[in-house]
Amino acid sequence: MHTAPQAPPARRRLIPVLALATLAALALAPDLALAKTTRVEATAKPATPPRPPAPTATEAEAARSYQACLAAVRTNATTALSQAEAWVRAGGGAPADHCAGLALVELGRLPQAAARLEAAASHAKRPDLGADLLDQAGNVWLMEGSFNKAYEAFTRSLALRPNQPQVMVDRARALGAQDDWEGAAAELGKVLKLAPGNVEAHSLRAGARRRLGDLGGARADVEAALGAMPGDPDALLERGAIRHLAGDDPGARTDWIDVLKKAPESPAAEAARANIEALGLKPQADAPAP
């Protein structure tokens, strides 16, 4: 009888890092107190494109407040939260709520952070910004362990901006976290129709299929992931699990040792090490020490 190995950990994008791209968008968004662009009618002879109007003094001040708050998040999250809360009370809108949410993540206050990111999304008039903020909120709910709330946030994000592969992958992770492996596999199948060769989707669907007892499908997915990205730690971790369940413990150990070598500080390595120890496949001298 085979022991079920530890499942590959879901990749979790760090919210502060994720935020940087969205923050740039927020800093340019018309609905977030910054420069508005004007519609220009086409002419027979294209001229030099007109520049958008310069920000007003109020808009420029809002932009400076935003950047100062973000800088504080990276250096002193407590100070950043205090600044952001004051800005919220002053009517700072989505940028203020967003900065407060990021500060709360840094402080480990995850339920409050997710709620604040959802508030920021509700204030965003541009659907793409609202979708990004809801995706971030969903990732915080995942980190906090509120998987149904995460699923709901991802679903709302996709309602604002459909067919976004990464958000769909996130939603599949929320389903898997609730042991809805059929739902997760189906969602990842949709991702792979939109983005064939998506390594994360293949690796996660391999795990879902393995949980459903479809080792052939799981093996096909994990080999597709490794074909697209040889040496991917999550895919190697999953292939080791599949090999173990198929009775190939030496092959499983080889994959898990490769994870330890390629990404010794990663969550995948932690899971690989736990599998090796739990299954009695003692690491040899060629495996990095914990």
**For the segment 183-226, what is each residue's pLDDT rounded down to a tens digit?**
999 999 999 999 999 999 999 999 999 999 999 999 999 999 99
Pair (143, 76) in one structural domain: yes
**For the segment 82-140, what is each residue's pLDDT rounded down to a tens digit?**
999 998 998 888 889 999 999 999 999 999 999 999 999 998 889 999 999 999 999 99
Tell me the C-alpha to C-alpha distance, in Å, between residue 27 and each of 21, 67, 70, 90: 10, 8, 11, 18
Residue that terminates a domain, selected from 110, 138, 168? 168
pLDDT at 44: 36
Residue 66 in tokens: 């935003």
Answer yes or no: is 280 within a domain.
Answer: yes
Residue 232 in tokens: 């991917």
134: CATH: 1.25.40.10
Q: What sign has the CA pseudo-torsion 129, 132, 137, 138?
A: positive
Name residue 80's amino acid: A
Closest CA to 238 of 2, 11, 1, 5: 5
Pair (210, 142) in one structural domain: no
Tell me the C-alpha to C-alpha distance, in Å, between residue 96 and each of 55, 73, 128, 210, 256: 18, 12, 18, 44, 44
Count: domains in the chain: 2
Answer yes or no: is 2 within a domain.
Answer: yes
**Rounded Cα gap, residues 17 and 83, in angstroms:** 20
Contacting residues for 53 by C-beta, under 8 A, at least 6 apart: 35, 36, 37, 38
Answer yes or no: is 290 within a domain.
Answer: no
Find the domain containing 153 and state its range: 1-32+62-168
pTM of the predicted protein model: 0.78
**For the segment 147-179, what is each residue's pLDDT rounded down to a tens digit?**
999 999 999 999 999 999 999 999 999 999 999
pLDDT of 31 strictly over 60 = no
